[in-house]
Structure 1
């Protein structure tokens, strides 16, 4: 009879063991070895020795908790946020920025079987230009909670400071809390989104019941006093502008407008470098026909179109395609075409697929791009730039390109989310 392994937790010993970490995983956990297994220990840094107890044991690895740290790494720093270790937003504020970046680069190199040529980074504090804060009225305290989820929980951490937020957004938190607490609908609020556009901040308030005229007036006064744009979301998929201007940001000298709910990279400094590096790696010139897959609203597409003969962008979200077309027209770019197509389906029959492209860029979501890899090989471009937010799917899709005669000639780690476990990267593939 076949036997199947169950991933249920095994009984773990409560005995204290002494281990020394020799690596750091992307989530800020020290990695040690014990009885032939990898042992992941929250809060322990490479080179540190500690007495630990096992909390979870599986066939290939185990987790442990520090009982007593015996040595102290010079890479250990004091977290800047008072909510660290409670809030689930950051995992690595106790780790020096140098060690954060080098450990992520080593992890990427191991997964890709390829050395990392470059670490692309920006400011490590105040970098986040977008955030969503949950809202919950606590009946016992008769007060509004506003913040992020606790690590491993749906409970809210009542956040008063967030040093990774753009300073202008962090400065809004006290006044925003006061304004929302004063609404009659305070018990029926869902969340609030904060976005810093180049033309100023905006907020999107999700409310679960209709707002009274008095509440709308309070919100409008708040938006005027704080000089921000205000949008209301009575439904999860619809927003209505109450006050202010439509948001936009600049990239490569272009002005890109966007809806408050549209995806934009939250780290502007790294995004600007990432776009510039992609253009450089592709060596785009006036004879090139470039294909941009999973193009969004044109973060790469439009800067590429400034240099290429023609650019085609393909995206699965209709609203982003429409926004890309608007931005192309607004910036006077007539050599770019956007297509709304599902790139997880058979792409060979899609209208854009028959055209010849000599260079390709793709920037898929976490699931990667398995549906288009074989078609990219059929196009046989000179160069392919793959921008990834998930190294696991990048490694998988890279195998298809390597099997088709391409090799990685450049690999960069993007420090898009300092102090967190996110590992983003970009790779250049060229014909071997």
Structure 2
């Protein structure tokens, strides 16, 4: 992608964007899908795959609507100073290109700036919220960071060939990948051996997926198989595990069927060393993709939450306890609430294991975990959970709308708003949290919820900033801090 300008050197560049030749487009910005955004002379917006802000480009427009068009970059006439050579041979606009990354042609620092603008634009346009301060971005390694991945597998009968990897760009086909620089090197180096392994198996046509989960010391591979594995295939998997130093987990049907193939010699886990916490997990459990960023993210979240030893904290959408257990090193009492019974059980196990390993005088604070549908919160349920001084909120992409809405409903009732519903019984002594740290993986739902917190629930947005959890992708992770007025 980076050599398009070299193949199309302009003789003389126009003086200004207003004097561009017919067919040239001035790229003004980049959208959430990592497409360059330009305008036709008639004002119609054009989204261009592969184009970068400040560039003058030509594009093949392949989709037209009344208000917008989309196309693919064909030539760069004036190149952005932030354009770089992609770090992966499978990235680009060519046929068969991998669709796992969208921004490898853009300098990593510029990627972060684009994501920061997306966050701020969403907060303002969707939530009418402007943070009082922009947090410094959380950044980490740009390569070898992806410790979790779902690799598709397919035996192509016509070619007598196995493919293992991500899907092609805008396609259901699997990219013909030999390396993947965003995966840890030892996993990238396994791609071709995995292909050879599957090709050698009796079940080569009925193994559609391998899920990768790396801990600090253990790499687990979950093989999805649609038919029982023969003894010969199991022997092949064991030989591969010994050679590559991995654990095989087998999945015959849904996620509940995942089982370790052989007794483990080591446990799959990651550490949060600043808090003296170790988090065991199963390969199908939700954990953050990027452990380097996760460690920094947890540390910053707790610093911004500023928990004291006499405070009670609620961790909403607590998962395995990624924030809950570190919070228990600082608070008087912690409550973790999560929608999945399975994750709540795992959280309790992790808490007990870490409590047993604590040094005398450094015990974790009393901590309870509750399973509840957090997309169905009400003011009554919120009040029943008791008063908490601080909240940590880390929802999935859908956000925490019901939670923010319940908080807003209570505030509106207390200030006597015309459209307010009556307060639940027993709510007189209940107080909302003084501070909320909201960790988001979707700037649109964060903006929606921030709008409720600021405009309806009596909070200020002290600060917000991006977390570059997924370099080279358009995924925007962020963190925002809200404080009671």
What range is the shorter-chain TM-score in?
over 0.9
Deviations 1:410-430 (A, max 9, x none): 111010101001011010001
Indicate the residue corresponding to 1:124 in structure 2: 142
Indicate the residue corresponding to 1:68 in structure 2: 75
Q: CA deviation at 1:334?
A: 5.2
Aligned residue-pair number: 418
Indicate the residue corresponding to 1:46 in structure 2: 53
TM-score by length of 2: 0.83
Distance 2:482 2:65 in 1: 37
Q: CA deviation at 1:73?
A: 1.6
Q: CA deviation at 1:206?
A: 0.5
The answer to whether the aligner puts 1:198 opposite 2:198 as a matched pair is: no
Indicate the residue corresponding to 1:32 in structure 2: 38
**Is the alpha carbon distance of 1:189 and 1:318 closer, same or farther for their aligned partners in structure 2, counting shifts above 3 Å?**
same
Q: CA deviation at 1:222?
A: 1.4
Contact 2:331 2:365 in 1 (8 A): no
Distance 1:352 1:216 in 2: 53
TM-score by length of 1: 0.93
Indicate the residue corresponding to 1:189 in structure 2: 207
Indicate the residue corresponding to 1:426 in structure 2: 479
Indicate the residue corresponding to 2:435 in structure 1: 383
SS in 1 for 2:121: helix
Distance 1:155 1:176 in 2: 18
Which moved further from structure 2: 175-184 or 156-165? 175-184
Q: CA deviation at 1:236?
A: 2.4
SS in 1 for 2:461: strand
Q: Which has a greater percent of strand?
A: 1
Contact 1:28 1:95 in 2 (8 A): no
Deviations 1:331-350 (A, max 9, x none): 11351100011111244454
Deviations 1:369-396 (A, max 9, x none): 1111133454411100111111111110
Please, which of 75, 78, 88 is the counterpart of residue 81 of structure 1?
A: 88
Indicate the residue corresponding to 1:366 in structure 2: 397
Indicate the residue corresponding to 2:24 in structure 1: 18
Distance 1:72 1:331 in 2: 53
Indicate the residue corresponding to 2:102 in structure 1: 91
Contact 1:339 1:352 in 2 (8 A): no
The answer to whether the aligner puts 1:145 opposite 2:166 as a matched pair is: no
Aligned CA-pair RMSD: 1.8
Indicate the residue corresponding to 2:120 in structure 1: 109
The answer to whether the aligner puts 1:56 opposite 2:77 as a matched pair is: no
Indicate the residue corresponding to 1:410 in structure 2: 463
Please, which of 357, 369, 375 is the counterpart of residue 344 of structure 1?
A: 375
Contact 2:61 2:71 in 1 (8 A): yes
Distance 1:268 1:177 in 2: 27
Q: CA deviation at 1:205?
A: 0.5
The answer to whether the aligner puts 1:279 opposite 2:302 as a matched pair is: yes
Indicate the residue corresponding to 1:242 in structure 2: 261
Which moved further from structure 2: 49-58 or 97-106? 49-58
Contact 2:399 2:446 in 1 (8 A): yes
Deviations 1:90-133 (A, max 9, x none): 00111111211111111211111336322111001110001111
Higher alpha-carbon Rg: 2
Contact 2:315 2:391 in 1 (8 A): yes
SS in 2 for 1:401: helix
Contact 1:16 1:51 in 2 (8 A): no
Indicate the residue corresponding to 1:397 in structure 2: 449
Contact 1:348 1:354 in 2 (8 A): no
Distance 1:351 1:430 in 2: 18
Alignment of 1:159-178 (within 5 A): 159-178=177-196
**Is the alpha carbon distance of 1:53 and 1:160 closer, same or farther for their aligned partners in structure 2, counting shifts above 3 Å?**
closer
Indicate the residue corresponding to 1:253 in structure 2: 276
